Structures are given as structure tokens and as C-alpha cells.
Amino acid sequence: MRLTLLAAALVAALPMAGVAQDRTQTLADIRQELSVLYVELQTLKRELSTTGPVATPAPSASLLDRVDVIESELQRLTAKAEEMEYRIDRIVTDGTNRIGDLEFRLCELEEGCDLGALGDTPTLGGGALPEAPAVALPKNETNGAQLALGEQADFDRAKEALDQGSFRSAADLFAAFAEAYPAGPLTAAALFHQGGALSQLGEIAPAARAYLNAFSADPTGPEAPQSLLRLGQSLGELGQSGEACITLEEVGTRFPGSEAAAEAQTSRLNLGCL
């Protein structure tokens, strides 16, 4: 009976091989569950191999073989999870380094920007990889339970200024919003709209920085495709054709089939990207 229950637990664990697409579980969750299952297997194996009279030795040997197969599969899944964790960490590190390089280049182009004040680039996505199990929040959900007091009202005030064509006021309000709520669910949208307001004012370098910050705040959020697109286009306007072409190509790679990807391809043609 215990083996049956254990086999059922394994069947439930097998979908973990697709953890890269299951955003409701972290790698730490998977590794913890696999560890628990592994301990249960070891306990069962010790019980099956206990010395003493055995009425039916052949079936016991068969059970041990089956346990070995299950244990082997668990080890494979654990190794797969560790491999994926390494790959994700490498992607985050590479992306953070590339964003840091873009921030440095934009600061060189932006009048009055102090290179010494840039500091360390925040980790791509807004934080380090999870080390322990965590309860995942519904993606892109911005209900009242997640918003700080006054956050929605402050965002709406800045958006109203943008809609009315008060671009300077909108840019300042969105900048203040991002500073007041650096990790809020509306921060990426605020930074994106700040970039739009600055673009309308002809301040292309600060706009590019805002688009870069918007993408960094939420690389998979609803504003991410357009933020990356506008960043690439802004770099093109600043004469940074090489960086612009790379950034625009990244739009199609990250968001294939999207409207932003199609527009990025057009922009690449206009820039003469290879």
C-alpha cells in the first residue's frame, strides 16, 4: 500500500520537469518536494530489505527493483531542477550585466549625468532568485490588496497629466511615483509612461533610461515588449545604431509574434541593421 501511495506521489511529481513554464512553483518548492519523496523512498527501501523470515522472496525482490527505478527517476528530476536553476541564474546575471552596460552608455549621452552616482545595477526582474519556497502571487494582478495606500490615485494623477498633454508634469509625476513605489505592481507602467512623456519633450536620452528601467522592473510584464522596443528606437535616435539593432532584435527573440516584434523589425530595416 505504501508503495502504491509513493508511486502516486511520483506521478504527481513528474510534471515538475516542466518547471520553467510553471510559474506557480519555484525551483526551491520542487527541490523540497523531491527531497521529501527521496526520504520516503529510503525509508521504504530499508523496510523492504529488513532481515528475517520472508514468505515470498521473489515479490520482495521485485518491489526493490521498482523502488530503485523510482529512486533513479527522482534523482533525474532533481538533477534537471538544479540544471534549470543554474541556467536561470546565468540568464539573470547576463541580462543584469547588459542592462548595466546600457545604463552606463546612456549616462554618457545624458547631459549632467554623474557616472559615479550610478551604483550597482539592480538584479534583472527586481530581486535575487528564490532560495526558499514562497507563495506565488497571480501574475500582473493589481487589485487593491497589492497596492499601497494612495498608489492607484498617484498613478492616475500622473496618467491624467499625460493624457492632457502636460508632458513635463507627467514626467515629473511618474518619476516621483517610481521613487515612492519602487517595487509596486504599477511601477513598470509608470516608468514606461515617463519615457513616453520625456520622448514628447524631445529628451531622448532620459526617455531611453526610463524605458530601460521599465523593462528591468518587469521583463515579462505587459509593458515589457513596448519598453524594449522604445528603448531600441531611442538608441537609434541617439545615433547608437549598434546597440539599437541588438536591442530591437531582442524584442523579436523575447516576444515573438507580438505587435512590438513586428514594429521592431520595421525599425531594424529603417536603421539598416544586418
pLDDT score at 106? 72
Under-50 pLDDT residues of the chain: 1-24, 54-59, 127-145
Q: CATH homologous superfamily of domain 150-274?
A: Tetratricopeptide repeat domain (1.25.40.10)
Phi-psi category of 8—alpha, beta or left, where left has phi over 0 and alpha has psi -120 to 50? alpha
pLDDT score at 51? 52
- Cα distances from 224 to residues 9, 83, 175, in angstroms, run 38, 27, 18
pLDDT score at 7? 41
Cα-Cα-Cα-Cα dihedral sign, residues 187, 193, 199, 200: negative
What pTM, to 2 d.p., does this model score? 0.54
pLDDT score at 77? 72
pLDDT score at 145? 38
For 251, how many CA atoms within 13 A lie in the half-sphere containing its CB? 28
Planar angle of CA 125, 130, 136, nearest 5 degrees: 80
Length of the chain: 274
Count CB neighbours of 166 within 10 A.
15
Q: How far apart are CA 35 and CA 182, in angstroms?
A: 36
Minimal CA–CA distance to 123: which of 146, 94, 101, 83?
94
pLDDT score at 82? 73
pLDDT score at 93? 72
Residue range 110-150, pLDDT digits in tens: 677 776 666 666 655 554 444 434 433 344 444 443 677 88
Q: How far apart are CA 176 and CA 154, in angstroms?
A: 9
